[in-house]
Amino acid sequence: MSGGDLSAFQNLSDAKVAAYLDSRSADLGLRIPESCRAGVAENLALLRDQTALFADLTDDDAPVEPFTP
Amino acid sequence: MSFDTAQAVTRAVREGRTTAREQAQKAIAAAKAEPFNAFTAIFEDEALVQADAVDAQLAAGVDPGPLAGAPFAVKNLFDVAGHTTLAGSKIRRDAAPASADAAAVARMKAAGAVLIGALNMDEFAYGFVTENAHDGPTRNPHDPARIAGGSSGGSAAAVSGGILPLTLGSDTNGSIRIPAGLCGVFGLKPTLGRLSRAGSFPFVHSLDHIGPFARTAADLALAYDALQGEDPLDDLSPPPADPLSARLDALAGQPLRVGVLDGWFQQGAFPEVVEALEIVADALQARRGVELTGAKAARAAAFTLSAAEGGRLHFDDLAKRALDYDPAVRDRLLAGALLPDGVAQAARRYRPAFRDEARRLFEDFDLLLAPVAPCPAPPIGQATMDLDGVPVSVRKTLGAYTQPISYIGLPVIAAPVNRPGKPPIGVQLIAPAWREDLAFAAALRLERAGVIAAHRPPIRREPA
């Protein structure tokens, strides 16, 4: 349950979201019920769009420190 | 129903004008009859045993604690010894009962408060609406056709509707503040790590907070004081307590430098929300037009971190029983489980940068104001809302103004603006980290000036 390519995810076109869903769920061994596919794909597209708003604002190589408010 | 404050109940119990048992019986009767679908369980026998113990202590001259005899209830993600912790779900209904009370429940009881029952919520705290597919929607006491907000909707509705004076909830992205605002009561989301989360079912470990609901700022302070204390079982290691109840008058008179957050925090806000915020801003002589740079990105980071951590937490159950989840929650968790690891890492990496932006603002201000939500409570069943001319998901959008703040763990009181006869609207009183006292200072001053107030809902015989 690890891995996945962040930049590939960010660059997914709408048409490729379903293919990402299939390949990522197969990699993880997480079966997506047929009745959920459309909803999951819609949420993945939204998460891709949201990720674009912050992912490039920090250095990818910077360590993640324990957070203090 | 009773709209007595916890302070008044406790005083009456101590002075022998009522008993803890009588107060517990009243709250149990109200919980059994409540029309809001706020309760999912009532612990009648245990409550009466506990109330009798409080009365016995008083009879023996022993102080039962500052909340002596005050009834309370908790969101059903808190462990209650002997009862299964549902967290709003179906899949946990056959889980083993909790072996001990959550730290927060134990602290409330140790202060003399009497636990009456457990309260409805969005499944696994993932939502802002409390339209639970398994337990049904919680109705807003001010208009039963409208949502109570979520995810701690039962906690807000029970207090707003006069079932009892105090409840507990949790807030990961706004789940105390949103329902408090929509139901017209006070809710406290403390600094991340201030109150122990031990024994509460997690959602997003990086962002989870717990806190109280009440109908007055003084009651909120009473509960907050009772909940404080170090706890080795929470890895955030809460710091030493900073009790407030004994110094409310001093707090209320404290000078405050206040700013009103603009930009992201008012984008798409309904006119009545902006109008309510202006009333509070005028009362605190606040400076307008304060910008917290990066708020939109912070909201996005909180949004995705929630999906990623939530998806990972539920991975095994999703693999086995996805169709037993609430559909509205399931699809979000499944999508979160499929995210590449780098998304959560990037969301965590942005936190200190945004925190430092907020710290810079607090060099000039003691307190920042923002609306709780873009709109008053939407109708139950409404899937989308209009935000700046764009249709967006109610379930995913109500927390737009709360998510950037919990992302960096700042303490906030959600306070009800005094709008008698109108739908409740809440304002966020946002303080620097570990300075809950400043949020309370503003809440007390506003309450004493009549600018904020928790109104009794209109009397209705039947829910709509």
Q: Where are the beta strands (DSSP E) in B262-395?
A: 287-290, 367-371, 384-387, 390-393
Q: Of B206, B198, B162, which is closest to residue B183 (Cα–Cα)?
A: B162
The amino acid at B324: D
What is the model's pLDDT at position B396?
Answer: 85
**Beta carbon pairs, A and B, within 8 Å:** 131
Q: Of the candidates B191, B338, B346, which has its C-beta nearest A6's C-beta?
A: B346
Give the pLDDT score at A38.
97
Q: What's the pLDDT tens digit per position in A24-69?
A: 999 999 999 999 999 999 999 999 999 999 999 988 888 888 999 9
Q: Which residue of A has its CA nearest to B235?
A: A66
Centroid of chain to Cα B68: 22
Residue B168 near residue B80 (C-beta atoms within 8 A): no
Averaged in consecutive runs of 10 residues, what is the pLDDT profile of chain B (464 residues)?
95 98 98 98 98 98 98 98 98 97 98 98 98 98 98 98 98 98 98 97 97 98 96 84 92 96 96 98 97 98 98 98 97 98 96 98 98 97 89 91 98 97 97 97 98 90 52
Q: Yes or no: say if B422 and B369 are a contact pair by the CB < 8 Å rule.
A: no
Query: Which residues, 6+ apart, have CB-to-CB distance to B237 below 8 Å?
Result: B193, B230, B231
Distance to chain A for B264, nearest Cα, Å: 13
B109 included as an active-site residue: no
Q: Tell whether ipTM is more than 0.85.
A: yes
Closest CA relative to residue B394, chosen from B1, B25, B131: B131
Instruction: Round to whole Å and give the CA distance between B15 and B27.
Output: 20
Structural domain boundaries of chain B? 6-448
Query: Is the four-CA dihedral B326, B206, B182, B2 of positive or negative sign?
Result: positive
**Under a CB-based contact definition with an 8 Å cutoff, are residues B199 and B103 in contact?**
yes
Tokens, residue B82: 């002997």
**Residue A3 pLDDT class (50, 70, 90 cuts):** low
E strands within B198-356? Answer: 209-214, 258-261, 287-290
In angstroms, what is the C-alpha Rg of chain B? 20
Q: How far apart are CA B162 and CA B2, in angstroms?
A: 5
Beta strands, E only, B23-151? 39-42, 71-75, 114-119, 131-132, 136-137, 139-140, 143-147
* Strands B166-171 vs B71-75: parallel, antiparallel or unpaired: parallel
**Catalytic site includes residue B175:** yes
Task: Name the residue in chain B with its Cα closest to that of A56.
Answer: B346
pLDDT, tens only, B393-411 = 998 889 999 999 999 999 9
| Nearest in space to B2 (alpha carbons), one of B35, B22, B27 | B27
Residue of B nearest to A23 (CA): B338
Q: Do A30 and B315 touch (CB under 8 A)?
A: yes
CA distance B91 to B442: 42
What fold does the segment set B6-448 form as a domain?
Amidase signature (AS) enzymes (3.90.1300)
CB-nearest partner of A33 from B191, B323, B340 = B323
